[in-house]
């Protein structure tokens, strides 16, 4: 059983907004050094998610639980790559042996947080929009109310995403239990929300580009996205950005 570090350990530090770009850039440099191995990692992840997606009902839950396990494995692989080690194909499952329980707990906890967040957002929107659920009625609302509703939805989902952004790295690199990992992720995310927002926008733009050539770009985008979790953690909680 992994002992979680004290609450004051790994305190986040504030970094400039531009570091959101550096996180993506340094992640790309790490992936570029061993591209075939990272593509193999991405193929394994996508294949498993595709198979789970074919299962009715339970497949979606299993996909949520598996995602943190792969995220943790990618972070561990990124740390090895950052140290100059040659990655092996088996390392796509690196977190499955030593961190399976806390990472599955992280997946369950975050799923619960998302459900709760969506319920709270729906309650706020219902109060704001006067209990109207018909899309045509909502479209008839004044533009100001529609904008407020959209901002509430976007803001709630962004804050919810901050609970998870650093969490897989907090589990595998710092030894936090799932709940403390999410609290530490939220603390680092709120302190550096401009950098996290910029990073998210850049990754979204790159995802759009990656989808253009029949989605083949996903095989490189996915590793960059996962490794960005490592580079962001190193910058905010660790020894600073990897130098490449």
Q: Mind listing the pLDDT tens digit for each residue in 171-209?
A: 999 999 999 999 999 999 999 999 999 999 999 999 999
Distance of CA 73 to the CA centre of its chain: 13
Task: For the beta carbon of residue 161, count every other beta carbon within 10 angstroms.
Answer: 18
How far apart, in Å, are the Cα atoms of 169 and each of 46, 79, 151, 211? 21, 10, 29, 27
* Residues of the chain under the 70 pLDDT cut: 1-8, 125, 128-146, 148-149, 243-244
Are 150 and 128 in contact by the 8 Å Cβ rule? The answer is no
pLDDT at 148: 67
Distance of CA 177 to the CA centre of its chain: 17
Token pair 């909502």 is found at 138
Alpha helices in 34-166 (DSSP H): 35-53, 58-82, 94-98, 100-128, 135-139, 143-165
pLDDT tens, position by position, 139-156: 666 666 667 667 777 777
- Encoded tokens for 155: 């803001």
Distance of CA 95 to the CA centre of its chain: 16
pLDDT at 1: 45
**Beta-carbon contacts of residue 144 (< 8 Å; ≥ 6 apart):** none
pLDDT at 112: 86
pLDDT at 55: 85
């Amino acid at each position: 059983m992994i002992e979680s570090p004290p609450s004051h350990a790994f305190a986040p530090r504030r970094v400039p907004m531009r570091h959101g770009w550096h996180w993506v850039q340094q992640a790309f440099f790490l992936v570029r050094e061993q591209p075939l191995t990272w593509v193999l990692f991405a193929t394994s992840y996508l294949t498993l998610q595709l198979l789970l997606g074919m299962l009715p009902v339970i497949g979606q839950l299993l996909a949520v639980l598996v995602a943190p396990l792969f995220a943790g494995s990618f972070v561990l692989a990124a740390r090895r790559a950052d140290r100059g080690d040659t990655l092996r194909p088996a390392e796509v499952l690196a977190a499955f042996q030593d961190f399976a329980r806390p990472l599955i707990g992280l997946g369950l906890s975050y799923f619960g947080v998302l459900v709760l967040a969506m319920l709270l957002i729906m309650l706020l929107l219902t109060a704001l929009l006067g209990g109207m659920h018909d899309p045509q009625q909502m479209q008839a609302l004044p533009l100001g109310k529609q904008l407020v509703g959209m901002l509430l939805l976007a803001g709630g989902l962004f804050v919810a995403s901050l609970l998870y952004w650093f969490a897989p790295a907090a589990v595998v690199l710092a030894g936090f239990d799932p709940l403390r990992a999410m609290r530490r992720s939220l603390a680092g995310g709120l302190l550096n929300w401009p950098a996290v927002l910029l990073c998210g926008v850049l990754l979204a733009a790159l995802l759009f580009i990656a989808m253009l050539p029949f989605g083949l770009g996903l095989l490189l985008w996915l590793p960059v996205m996962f490794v960005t979790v490592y580079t962001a953690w190193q910058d905010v909680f660790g020894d600073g950005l990897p130098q490449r």
